[in-house]
């Protein structure tokens, strides 16, 4: 039997910097002259220039002529340092095996964003998307690590749910045999059942909202990383959220230096987010800053708009937590605070540089009566929530939780213009393909 060649990744080859190597991958760029054929090869790790000199290897030079962008190849050759090459080294090719000659690639250098989204299945190969997807992988890995290190259990909730948690207007209705259900808007209500068994739990999963807004911050399918903890109150849960975000950023700085560079992300800013304390302010203090310092005109009782959130986070230059939003405009499960019922025991975390809300969370209401009233006011049938009210009937305790918008965090950390690039195959009101 013929001995199998040992292949190394381009990254391994670049680290080695010398000797003979076998590589495999795809043609990232190609250029041919009378005497030379240059192929920039890419794989999942990096790119490297490969050179075929006609006078040295006339047959290989000939074989390389039909190569097109994204053709798949196996290349063998000797590594040589070369400052002109894109990653500092060059492979002097002595063997080339073509696996497939690619059709003309539909994506060329300057393309409209819509064409890139139409060809998303091909565009995820780009260096930029490769870097984003690697950072996303660090972020989701860090979320698991953060909670597991702290003794949280992973707990799963159904995606088909009989009721809403975040407002009826963004529900996706799905035919369910002869009945109907909704796609999950949040893991939370089921998590509130889970804590009576497991105490501290977390989850990360697909979440669905029929968002009619066409912004650069909304997806109709996104991933939310949520936590819920028994006995925890607002002042404690906000600290968990800060620690989680700082941990995520530390991990990205540790693991993804190369990817941040490809994305031209300002590392200094990320370093400050990993290091600095994040302030917590109340909604009413936020209004004071906006109205007095920035001459805005936000009346008490209104939710903060993107523009106002952006101004606030920029004021502090680090992520901030805003608590005690007006109870009236908050979800049915967010409780009024004891001394001040118009203020709810809830919070958002707002990220700077215009990225705004990345986390929403709260302490949870323990009053069946209050929640019923709120649900009825929203046109919901409280009977659908009866199982949820059982959690207040059988050993009710204070508890809290929050949800991190994974793509919001990916966008912010990568410095993206649009949240659609934070997920491999984005879904929005206007985009459901490919």
Interacting residue ranges for ligand 4AD, rule: CB under 6 A: 165-166, 186, 188, 209, 211, 218-219, 222, 224, 226, 357-361, 401-403, 405, 407-408
Q: Compute the least distance from the CB of residue 241 to ligand 4AD, in Å.
A: 10
226 binds, among ligand 4AD, Mg ion, none (CB under 5 to 8 A by kind): ligand 4AD
Residues numbered 356-375 forming contacts with Mg ion, rule: CB under 5 A: 360
- Comparison of 25 and 331: residue with beta carbon closer to ligand 4AD: 331
State the nearest-atom distance from the C-beta of 417 to ligand 4AD, in Å: 15
CA 398 to chain centre: 30
* Contacts by 238-243, CB closer than 8 A, 24 or more apart: 238/280, 238/321, 238/323, 238/347, 238/361, 240/402, 241/321, 241/347, 241/349, 241/359, 241/361, 241/402, 241/404, 242/277, 242/278, 242/319, 242/321, 242/349, 243/146
Residue closer to Mg ion by CB (options 361, 426) is: 361
Shortest distance, CB of residue 209 to ligand 4AD, whole angstroms?
A: 4
Cβ distance to Mg ion smaller for residue 319 or 360? 360
Cβ atoms of 366 and 396 closer than 8 Å: yes
Q: Which is nearer to ligand 4AD, 99 or 231 (CB)?
A: 231
Closest distance of CB 348 from Mg ion, Å: 6
CB of 214 to ligand 4AD, least distance (A): 11
Based on CB atoms, which residue is closest to ligand 4AD, 23 or 313?
313
Q: How far is the CB of 96 from ligand 4AD (least distance, A)?
A: 45
| Site residue total, Mg ion (CB under 5 A) | 1
Measured from the CB atom, is 61 or 222 closer to ligand 4AD?
A: 222
The distance of closest approach from Cβ of residue 97 to Mg ion in the complex, given in angstroms and rounded to an integer, is 53
Q: What angle do CA 242, 246, 248 make, to 5 degrees?
A: 120
Residue 403 in the binding site for Mg ion (CB under 5 A) = no
Q: Name the residue nearer to ligand 4AD (CB basis): 25 or 403.
A: 403
Please identify, using beta-carbon distances, which residue of 88 and 167 lies nearer to Mg ion: 167
CB of 342 to ligand 4AD, least distance (A): 20
Quickly count: other Cβ atoms within 10 Å of residue 108's Cβ.
9
Rounded to the nearest whole angstrom, what is the least distance from the CB of residue 376 to ligand 4AD in the complex? 20
Using the minimum distance from each CB to ligand 4AD, give the nearer residue, 194 or 360.
Answer: 360
The residue of the chain with the least Cβ separation from Mg ion equals 360
Which stretches of the chain bind Mg ion, using CB under 5 A?
Answer: 360
């Amino acid at each position: 039997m013929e001995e199998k060649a040992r292949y190394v990744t381009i990254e391994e080859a670049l680290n080695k910097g010398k000797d003979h190597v076998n590589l495999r991958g795809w043609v990232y760029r190609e250029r041919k002259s009378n005497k030379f054929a240059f192929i920039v090869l890419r794989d999942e790790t990096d790119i490297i220039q490969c050179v075929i000199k006609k006078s040295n290897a006339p047959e290989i030079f000939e074989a390389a002529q039909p190569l097109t962008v994204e053709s798949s190849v196996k290349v063998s050759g000797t590594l040589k340092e070369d400052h002109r090459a894109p990653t500092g080294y060059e492979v002097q090719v002595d063997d080339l095996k073509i696996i497939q000659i690619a059709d003309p690639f539909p994506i060329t250098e300057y393309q409209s964003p819509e064409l890139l989204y139409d060809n998303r299945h091909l565009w995820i190969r780009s260096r930029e998307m490769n870097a984003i997807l690697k950072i996303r992988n660090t972020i989701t890995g860090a979320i698991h690590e953060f909670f597991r290190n702290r003794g949280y259990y992973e707990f799963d909730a159904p995606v088909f749910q009989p009721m809403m948690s975040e407002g009826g207007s963004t529900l996706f209705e799905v035919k369910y045999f002869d009945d109907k259900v909704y796609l999950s808007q949040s893991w939370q209500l089921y998590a509130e059942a889970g804590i009576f068994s497991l105490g501290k739990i977390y989850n990360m999963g697909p979440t669905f909202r029929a968002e009619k807004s066409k912004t650069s911050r909304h997806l109709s399918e996104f991933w939310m990383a949520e936590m819920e903890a028994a006995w925890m109150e607002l002042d404690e849960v906000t600290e968990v959220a800060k620690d989680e975000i700082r941990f995520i950023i530390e991990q990205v700085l540790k693991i993804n230096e190369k990817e941040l560079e490809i994305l031209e992300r300002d590392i200094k800013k990320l370093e400050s987010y990993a290091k600095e304390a994040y302030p917590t302010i109340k909604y009413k203090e936020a209004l004071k800053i906006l109205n007095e310092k920035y001459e805005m005109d936000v009346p008490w009782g209104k939710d903060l708009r993107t523009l106002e959130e952006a101004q606030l986070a920029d004021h502090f230059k680090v992520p901030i937590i805003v608590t005690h939003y007006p109870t009236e405009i908050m979800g049915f499960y967010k409780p009024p605070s004891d001394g001040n019922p118009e203020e709810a025991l809830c919070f958002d975390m707002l990220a700077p540089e215009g990225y705004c809300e990345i986390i929403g969370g709260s302490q949870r209401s323990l009053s069946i009566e209050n929640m019923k009233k709120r649900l009825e006011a929203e046109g919901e049938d409280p009977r659908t929530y009866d199982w949820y009210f059982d959690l207040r009937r059988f050993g009710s305790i204070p508890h809290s939780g929050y949800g991190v918008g994974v793509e919001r965090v990916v966008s912010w950390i990568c410095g993206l213009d649009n949240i659609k690039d934070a997920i491999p195959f984005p879904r929005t009101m206007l985009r459901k393909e490919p």
